[in-house]
Amino acid sequence: MHVLILGGTSEARRLAELLHGTGVPRLTSSLAGRVSSPRLPPGEVRVGGFGGVDGLVAWVRDHGVDAIVDATHPFAETMSFHAARAAAVTHVPLLALRRPGWVPVRGDRWHGAGSLEEAAALLPALGRRVFLTTGRMGLAAFAGLDDLWFLVRSVDAPEPPCPRQTETLLARGPFTLDGERELIRRHRVDVVVTKDSGGAATAPKLTAAREAGVPVVVIRRPPVPEGVPVVPDPERAARWVLDRLGGRSSPTLG
């Protein structure tokens, strides 16, 4: 019995921790390999793409996978789509683990955007000094905004092309509210851009922006592929896995 976790998130790591030692005979976490020194989960870890849907189908068959949890980031749309296709082809049960998105509260000045490009188009009307927290990929969408200054925060160095006036801050969450307040103050940030990643680790920037009266461009999530069941936390994902395997073994969740 073999469980495949498509990872790259703290929730995926937590799920691996929960399942490790429950009696699940084989557990593999898969990472895309985007981050140079990822925090590794317990159990087996494989790194790198599968080679599209066909590659994933072959991997699932070759390695006797019995259940898949897509615990990738809410914006890892391609991988989620591939997982849904591969699960349909192989008839292996698939669950999506998605932390809930953020919800605005009183005082927030949020502007929704459907993509990085839409976010870039909104910026000139909102501010001049941008705190860009959408990750190191896709900065080309902002590269034409020569009049704006960008503070780009990412785990690894951003990939060019980048905006002309860019300062890079290499950092990995979780971030503190005091730290985010200080960043906004010190860099005189007047607009923030974020994906609707959800979760507590990177939410303090939203509070700091609200307190400072700074608008936030929030990029909306892509949908989870149709027909794939979704749970919001690792505990429920672990329960789903154990229920799937329950007929064949009797592992318990610690």
Give the binding-site size for ligand NAP (rule: CB under 6 A). Answer: 24
CB of 75 to ligand NAP, least distance (A): 4
- Name the region of 227 (left: φ>0; alpha: ψ -120 to 50; beta: rest): left
Say whether residue 73 binds ligand NAP (CB under 6 A). Answer: yes
**What x/- string results for residues 96 through 135 when contact with ligand NAP is judged by CB under 6 A?**
---------------------------------------x
Contact by Cβ (8 Å): 156, 136: yes
- The SS3 call for residue 61 is helix
Give the residue among 57, 193, 50 at the shortest CA–CA distance from 131: 193
Rounded CA gap, 107 and 227, in Å?
Answer: 36
Q: How many residues does the chain have?
A: 254
Considering only residues 126 to 185 of the shown chain, the ones binding ligand NAP according to CB under 6 A are 135
Rounded CA gap, 158 and 162, in Å?
Answer: 8
Q: Which of 2, 3, 4, 6 binds ligand NAP (CB under 6 A)?
A: 6
Q: Which stretch binds ligand NAP (CB under 6 A): 37-45, 73-81, 169-177, 206-214?
A: 73-81
Residue ranges in contact with ligand NAP by CB under 6 A: 6-9, 30-32, 34, 49-52, 55-56, 72-73, 75-79, 82, 135, 195
